[in-house]
């Protein structure tokens, strides 16, 4: 019957729990251990309770979980059906009792059952669920129904685990939550555990479903792109229906990045308004769906991409999703980015590298391409060192029979014609110049023209008897295989052990095709989508453990593999192969919505570059100085005045890099919005401020309006100094000292003129 049935209780009529004895035994053993653990924790927490209240609380009387992450509250509870139901995510509330009990689940007619209308914290696909499921499974008997009920939970410090179980079969789902009170970020991930005695195929396993307050009028921001044009910010209204952001390519991708931001305030500018935002920590195929139901329920679900997904979970096995991190702020998209920047630096980047600064780097790629040899690289290293460069990186071309991109990938031995004495003499030379040494590798790939492929053609990803699609003349190794994993690990380990290598630029220049794994039983072959990523992380983790000072840059033909998963294992990333400075402004702007400038490697390169555009060297420097500075030019072609300017700009950069890399970024004027572009970086203690400004295509007589700075101390006095090498304009009247209030309300006048002009200011606080 169609019509209003407001008190329909269809879900409660489903079968009650039917748990096997074996399951009950295991469960009670676990409960005993847990109980003693909980008692110990309780004793511990009662001692510390006086110091700080627990950030995670379970309110026994209302069966509600309250997670306090600093300025953010996140609340869900166990409803009358024993299911988890989301209640709130937003600004901090603090008074737990305000949330009351979990509202009753209500159906909307006979079409939208309560399973669908209630905001299930983590929905299993079953029992009339028509919205995006968190998990979808097929059992060997053909059963595909999964309804998850609460079993128990555990709170340890800043983490909460809630165990759910299917109403009939021992397929368990553990929801894990971690709160980060300093940033308000929540981390969620899910473990599916097969306690049945038969394999289960998971067709979807999502990390989390995030619910926004009921309503409409939301706007979604996300990042799309292409090779040499990554990080394009896209904005659109959220309408009823489902919007999918994804990569089906086996890796993160340039085409879309696993980051989202949703806001609602029509007038929201970059510094005001409520924003819910998040990012996935996974470098394989991923999916984020943004869904608005006809009942104005807006949710963002993300995790493993469901496309071609079919993970076989053997009896006793578990699979854990990638983490999905998300946050909330009422400080607009600007504050949302800054929260992520801080979070990435303090919680994600390996080895606490986010608290230090990045070295100035030279990379040989655009200078020499594949034509590397000992003499040529030494000559470039001499010149780079004279500029103040701190790390010298030799790019592609040094290994196997690598003369061009047709051969050599897979053979990680030093090319004896180019380096007859190995890499030792070059590395010693670089180190004697006071720099450390880095090397380019692309370990997950193989050229058909390589010793490795001749020996192991079965190691390349393929379907039996089908053509193998080449891209850049290369194939992807099937890293899901453990023998491939071991080959890559040992090749790199030997290379790093034999040579004093401080840094690897880890490249990945194509996406999956024919993702087959014919050597294992067909029902396990789709595990490749997950196993590949796990083995990649395994190699990176082991290399880092064995070589603790080794640093890594994640590159995928540019910014194709930047995500919070790889960033746990890489200190920096290559944001784009497009090094043309003006294009780069848009690329860098997009990048910083999701990722910190700390990790954003930017090179100064030669002109004309991509687009055939030639912008002045100072412009190129000031663009590249807004992240982690590198030089990628052919220094053999530089003139004396280029060296002089470069030396000056590098020394200036060293005086501001702490602020640029680890400070707070304010995007003052966007490259996508007009012909004037400005961004400001404020050091953590507000004592140093750096302003970068650029203009192009200026109409005669139209000057740049005063630029209002942000994030300063109103009462403080700041000194102003120009960082660019331009002469001070004759008619300049600007005083050398100004108050924070003046700078933020009146603003600062900049002299910019004509095409591709640029300037930068450094402000230092002298009093409070």
Residues engaged in binding ligand GLA (CB under 6 A): 365, 395-396, 440, 507, 509, 555, 557-558, 574, 577
User: Shortest gap between Cβ of 405 and ligand GLA (angstroms)?
Assistant: 6
CB 513, min distance to ligand GLA, A? 18
Q: Which is nearer to ligand GLA, 336 or 570 (CB)?
A: 570
Nearer to ligand GLA, 71 or 249 (CB): 249
Residue 761 CB, nearest approach to ligand GLA (Å): 31
Q: How far is the CB of 674 from ligand GLA (least distance, A)?
A: 30
Pick 437 or 574: Cβ nearer ligand GLA: 574
**Enzyme catalytic residues:** 507, 577
Burial class (CB in 10 A: 0-12, 13-18, 19+), 249: buried
Q: Residue for token digits 């924070």?
A: 740
Question: Does an H or E element contain 759, and which?
Answer: strand 757-767
Query: Nearer to ligand GLA by C-beta: 81 or 367?
Result: 367
Phi, psi of 264, rounded to the nearest 5 degrees: -140, -20
CA distance 365 to 384: 14
d(CA 645, CA 641): 6
Q: Name, in order, each residue with C-beta under 8 angstroms of 30's C-beta and a sequence gap of 6 or more.
A: none
Mapping DSSP onto H, E and C, the string for 70-89 reads CCEEEEEEECCCCCEEEEEE
DSSP conformation letters of 287-330? EEEEEE-TT--EEEEEEE--TT--EEE-TT-EEEPPPEEEEEES
Please give the C-alpha separations between residue 405 and each of 42, 450, 560, in angstroms, as whole numbers.
Answer: 61, 11, 19
Residue among 364 and 679 whose Cβ is closer to ligand GLA? 364
Reading the block at residue 331, the tokens are 């400080």
- Please report, for residues 225, 254, 580, 710, the alpha-carbon distance to residue 576 in angstroms, rounded to integers and kept in the order given: 10, 9, 10, 28
Q: Please state the closest distance from residue 378 (CB atom) to ligand GLA, in A.
A: 20
Please provide the size of the chain in residues. Answer: 768
CA distance 42 to 48: 10
In the bound complex, what is the minimum distance in angstroms from residue 577's beta carbon to ligand GLA? Answer: 5
Question: Looking at beta carbons, which residue is closest to ligand GLA?
Answer: 396
* Residue 15 near residue 168 (C-beta atoms within 8 A): yes
Q: Smallest distance from the beta carbon of 308 to ligand GLA, in angstroms?
A: 27
Nearer to ligand GLA, 453 or 574 (CB): 574
133 vs 558, beta carbon nearer ligand GLA: 558
Q: Are strands 436-441 and 503-506 parallel, antiparallel or unpaired?
A: parallel
- The minimum distance between CB 602 and ligand GLA, in angstroms, equals 12
What b/e sequence results for 620-632 when a residue is b if at least 16 CB atoms lie within 10 Å of its CB, and e otherwise? bbbbbbbbbbbbb
SS3 content of the chain, % helix, strand, coil (to 5): 25, 30, 45
Nearer to ligand GLA by Cβ, of 631 and 717: the residue is 631
Q: Which is nearer to ligand GLA, 436 or 577 (CB)?
A: 577
List, in sequence order, every residue forming a beta bridge with 174; answer none if it has no partner.
Answer: 163, 191
What separation, in Å, do the N-terminal and C-terminal C-alpha atoms of the chain show? Answer: 71
For residues 618 and 647, the answer to whether their CB atoms sit within 8 Å is no
Q: How far is the CB of 645 from ligand GLA (least distance, A)?
A: 24
């Amino acid at each position: 019957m169609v019509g209003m049935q407001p008190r329909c209780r269809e879900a409660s009529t489903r079968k009650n729990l039917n748990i096997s004895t074996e399951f009950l035994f295991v469960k009670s053993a676990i409960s005993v251990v847990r109980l003693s653990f909980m008692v110990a924790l309780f004793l511990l927490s009662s001692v510390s309770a006086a110091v700080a209240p627990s950030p995670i609380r379970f309110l026994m009387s209302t069966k509600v979980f309250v997670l306090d992450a600093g300025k953010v509250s996140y609340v869900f509870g166990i409803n009358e059906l024993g299911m988890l139901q989301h209640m709130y995510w937003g600004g901090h509330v603090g008074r737990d009792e305000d949330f009351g009990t979990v509202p009753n689940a209500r159906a909307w007619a006979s079409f939208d059952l309560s399973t669908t209308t209630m905001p299930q914290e983590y929905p299993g696909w079953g029992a009339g669920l028509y919205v995006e499921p968190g998990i979808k499974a097929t059992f060997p008997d053909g059963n595909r129904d999964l309804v998850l009920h609460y079993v128990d939970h555990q709170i340890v410090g800043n983490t909460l685990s809630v165990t759910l179980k299917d109403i009939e079969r021992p397929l368990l789902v553990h929801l894990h939550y971690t709160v980060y009170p300093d940033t308000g970020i929540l981390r969620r991930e899910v473990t599916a555990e097969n306690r049945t005695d038969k394999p289960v195929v998971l067709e979807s396993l999502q990390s989390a479903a995030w619910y926004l307050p009921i309503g409409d009028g939301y706007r979604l921001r996300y990042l799309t792109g292409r090779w040499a044009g990554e990080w394009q910010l896209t904005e659109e209204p959220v309408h009823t229906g489902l919007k999918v952001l994804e990569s089906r390519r086996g890796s993160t991708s340039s085409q879309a990045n696993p980051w989202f931001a949703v806001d609602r305030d029509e007038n929201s500018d970059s510094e005001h308004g409520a924003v819910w935002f998040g990012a996935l920590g996974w470098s394989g195929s991923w999916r984020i769906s943004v869904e608005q139901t006809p009942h104005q329920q807006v949710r963002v679900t993300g995790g493993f991409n469901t496309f071609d997904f079919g993970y076989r979970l053997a009896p006793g096995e578990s699979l854990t999703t990638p983490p999905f991190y998300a946050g909330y702020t009422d400080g607009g998209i600007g504050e949302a980015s800054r929260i992520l920047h801080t979070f990435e630096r303090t919680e994600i980047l390996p080895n606490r590298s986010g608290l230090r600064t990045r070295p100035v780097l030279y990379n040989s790629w655009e200078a020499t391409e594949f034509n590397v040899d000992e003499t040529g690289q030494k000559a470039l290293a001499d010149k780079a060192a004279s500029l103040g460069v701190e790390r010298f990186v030799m790019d592609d071309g040094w290994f196997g029979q690598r003369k061009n991109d047709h051969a050599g990938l897979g053979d990680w031995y030093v090319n004896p014609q180019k380096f007859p004495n190995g890499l030792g003499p070059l590395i010693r030379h670089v180190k004697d110049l006071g720099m450390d040494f880095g090397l380019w590798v692309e370990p997950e790939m193989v050229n058909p023209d390589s010793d490795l492929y001749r020996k192991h053609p079965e190691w390349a990803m393929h379907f039996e008897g089908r053509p193998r699609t080449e891209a850049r003349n290369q194939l992807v190794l099937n890293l899901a295989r453990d023998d491939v994993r071991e080959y890559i690990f040992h090749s790199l380990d030997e290379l790093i052990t034999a040579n004093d290598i401080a840094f690897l630029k880890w490249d990945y220049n194509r996406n999956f095709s024919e993702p087959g794994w014919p050597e294992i039983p067909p029902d396990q072959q789709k595990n490749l989508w997950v196993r590949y990523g796990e083995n990649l992380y395994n190699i990176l983790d082991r290399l880092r453990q064995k070589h603790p000072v080794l640093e890594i840059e994640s590159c995928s033909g540019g910014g194709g593999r930047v995500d919070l998963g790889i960033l746990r294992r890489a200190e920096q990333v290559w944001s784009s192969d497009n090094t043309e400075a003006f294009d780069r402004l848009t690329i860098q702007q997009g990048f910083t919505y999701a990722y910190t400038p700390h990790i954003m490697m930017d090179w100064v390169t030669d002109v004309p570059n991509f687009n055939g555009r030639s912008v002045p060297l100072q412009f190129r420097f000031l663009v590249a100085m807004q992240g982690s500075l590198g030089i990628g030019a052919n220094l053999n072609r530089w003139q004396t005045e280029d060296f002089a300017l470069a030396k000056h700009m590098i020394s200036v950069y060293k005086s501001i890099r702490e602020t640029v890399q680890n400070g707070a970024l304010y995007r003052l004027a966007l490259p996508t919005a007009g012909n004037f572009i400005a961004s400001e970086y404020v050091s953590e203690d507000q004592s140093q401020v750096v302003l970068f400004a650029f203009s192009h295509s200026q109409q005669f007589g139209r000057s740049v309006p005063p630029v209002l700075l942000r994030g300063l101390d109103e009462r403080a006095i700041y000194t102003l100094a120009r960082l660019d090498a331009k002469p001070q304009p004759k008619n300049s009247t600007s005083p050398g000292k100004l108050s924070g209030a003046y700078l933020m309300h009146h603003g600062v006048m900049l002299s910019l003129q004509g095409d591709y002009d640029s300037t930068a200011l450094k402000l230092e606080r002298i009093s409070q």
